[in-house]
Amino acid sequence: MKMGRSFTCDGIAYELRKTVGGGGSGDVWLADADGQCWAVKILKVRGDQRRAERFDREASFQSGCGHDHIAPVVGRGVHEERPFYIMPFYPESLRDVIDRGQTDVETLLDYVQQIADALQFAHARGIAHRDVKPENVLINGASATLADFGIAHFADSTLTAASELIGNRDYRAPEQRRGQDARNVGQEADVYALGLIVNECFTREIPAGSSYRLIESSYPSLSYLDPIVASMLAQVPGNRPAVADFLTEIRFSRAMRMKEIGGIVEQFRLNDDGAHDGVDDIDAVFEQAGEDVWYAIRLIATKTPDEIRRYNGNWHMRLGYNADALLLNLCIQSRLFELCQRKFYYESNVYARDDLYTSLDPTSDPRHGFLYDQARTLVREHPLPRAHDLSGRILKTFASCADYHCEELLADARQIVSEVRENLLGAPILWIVKYLAMNVPSITGVGDVADHIQIDWGRSDTFANNSDNPELFLQPHYAMDPEAVLNSLTESWNVSVKKTGDEWWSVMFRSPGEYQRFRKHCLARATPQSLFEADVKDILRDVTVAGGITRITLNSSFDVCNTLAKVLGLRDI
């Protein structure tokens, strides 16, 4: 067919305007009929029976399925010995949306769910699309529509050849890239491609290899998507979730996020004492604060202190927050106990050499009593409920130290009180979270952290004009597949690797010499006194030796995907 040519279908005359796309099986034309635009897909090659049958299958399915998010075929026929079908014209594709990068988060989430809805519908009928990519997702306003079932595999079809190369190179699943028998490439490949698209929608990068940019790094409030995407990108097809499971997970997580953020915002409004007079857009402040605090709660609940240390404390610094008296006093008491305990352990080392200290004697020595009273007063100024109270342990360890050490402790304690207030009052939300995670081992035991954080209106009254720092991580943060990291380990070292739990792996070195060489290699990779050296020593700490075998135990998210990956040269240090 040529531009300007006309043809008739079901009594309606269509005039071809221009080509707007195409693929291996056909060209897509923009056509006009009675002033309305339509898309006409025309089979490229005459006389190819296999392609003609595929084309007919595609048109039959799309004309009869009636799904809101699968492109409908409104007419079909043959013109000049070439089959064609007609469907509505869509002004753009998801590729255009991603490349433009201006679509709001909620609309992108809607698109993702709509694509998944379409795939679930097809999968339930035994159909695997096998060419899911942004170019095949057509967009019209708030609606996303899946199109081009040209290389789809239908349940009763024998049209796929074993050696057939199917799917776009960038969105092929591992089994497609490996040249697996194309007849065995099924719905799991659609799940893999959908996982790539979900990540790309929010990062504007197609995940490649075992390390890729996390959605969390661009949209922290969507961090719940990262583990979902990771499961969809599993190397083994059988380990990927069904599309129905993906939909259940994303709908639940999305609804819970909105519900929880809404609850936090409502609590801020209920606690509002009017101290924000003069703030131009109070609703924007409350909405931002709701997302910030929701994210802070998630970090505290799901990340280790070492993981939290990698976050940028000045993220979203346009808003300031205050920790309440419970968090302030819990942090102060935790640090005071750690201070006294450290001094107690220091003195204990001397006792092992029979060089004894004289402990504080508050009842008999007035000067000792004065020192003890100062410590007791300091602790009482920062009270805690009984469930969290460390005052008894603080005073016990304090009184067990020598008098001149107690004088040092009091000076340091006053500095600690000042430092805690400086870090937990008028600070960005992640600054507060990092400080609490580093200094309060029992932070997860305080209940809902949102109940203990308030907006600092002294800083936030100039919210709109405050400088900001949008970078979530101190350094670029990428996801890694723990299995890929551990496969690299087994290729380089004489080890056996076994998964022992959802987040834990056992690595067994088959000889003492092999472990010692590995240990030496790890330490050589780390700069002395650096944070990375501390991380390396952590993975070498939990060691068990039996029968000439040395075992270390590693967790997936940090030990394997961060520290071990750096040791093996898979990530930059």
CATH topology match: 6-88 vs 92-251: no
One-letter identity of residue 92:
E
Residue 23 has a pLDDT of 66
Among the listed residues 549, 525, 543, 547, the one whose alpha carbon sits nearest the alpha carbon of residue 535: 525
| The CATH number of the domain covering residues in 92-251 | 1.10.510.10
Q: What percentage of the chain exceeds 90 in pLDDT? A: 62
Confidence of residue 31 (pLDDT cuts 50, 70, 90): very high
Q: pTM value? A: 0.77
41 is in an annotated binding site: yes
Using the predicted structure, report yes or no on whether residue 49 has a pLDDT greater than 90: no
Q: What is the pLDDT of residue 465?
A: 76
| Secondary structure E strands in 240-352 | 321-323
135-160, pLDDT tens digit by residue? 999 999 999 999 998 888 775 544 44
Tell me, what's the pLDDT at 271?
A: 86
Q: Which two tokens stand for residue 86?
A: 């007609």
pLDDT in the model for residue 304 = 85
Tell me the pLDDT band of 524, cut-offs 50, 70 and 90: very high
pLDDT in tens, 127-141: 999 999 999 999 999
Above 50 in pLDDT, residue 260? Answer: yes
Q: Is the pLDDT of residue 203 over 50?
A: yes
pLDDT of residue 166: 52
The candidate with the shortest Cα–Cα distance to 562, out of 220, 366, 304, is 304
What pLDDT, on the 0 to 100 scale, is given for residue 458?
81
**Which regions of 261-348 does DSSP assign to beta strands (E)?**
321-323
pLDDT at res. 214: 92
CB neighbour class for 514 (10 Å; exposed up to 12, middle 13-18, buried from 19):
middle
Exposure letters 172-197 (e unless 16+ CB within 10 A, then b): bbebbeeeeebeebbbbbbbbbbbbb
Phi/psi for 155 (5° steps) reads -55, -40
- The confidence score (pLDDT) of residue 353 equals 63
Tell me the average pLDDT of the chain: 89
Query: What is the mean pLDDT of the segment spanning 40-45?
Result: 86
Domain ranges, ordered by start, for the chain: 6-88, 92-251, 325-425, 481-567
Q: Is residue 161 predicted with pLDDT exceeding 60?
A: no
**Average pLDDT value for residue range 495-524:** 91
Distance, C-alpha 573 to centroid of its chain: 21
Q: Specify whether the CB–CB gap between 438 and 534 falls below 8 A.
A: no
Give residue 191's pLDDT. 97
Residue range 6-88, CATH number: 3.30.200.20
Quote the pLDDT of residue 159. Answer: 44
Give tens-digit pLDDT for 100-121.
999 999 999 999 999 999 999 9
Strands of 23-150, DSSP E: 26-33, 36-43, 75-79, 82-88, 92-93, 137-140, 143-146
Q: What is the pLDDT of residue 305?
A: 87
In this model, does residue 556 exceed pLDDT 90? Answer: no
Report residue 538 as tokens.
Answer: 């952590």
pLDDT-above-70 percentage for the chain: 92
Both tokens of residue 527?
A: 């700069």
What does the pLDDT look like over 366-397, one tens digit per residue? 999 999 999 999 999 999 999 999 999 999 99
With 60 as the cut, is the pLDDT of residue 168 above it? yes
pLDDT, one tens digit per residue, over 279-307 is 778 888 999 999 999 999 999 988 888 88
pLDDT of residue 190 exceeding 90: yes
Neighbours of 281 (CB within 10 A): 11
Contact 65, 87 (CB under 8 A): no
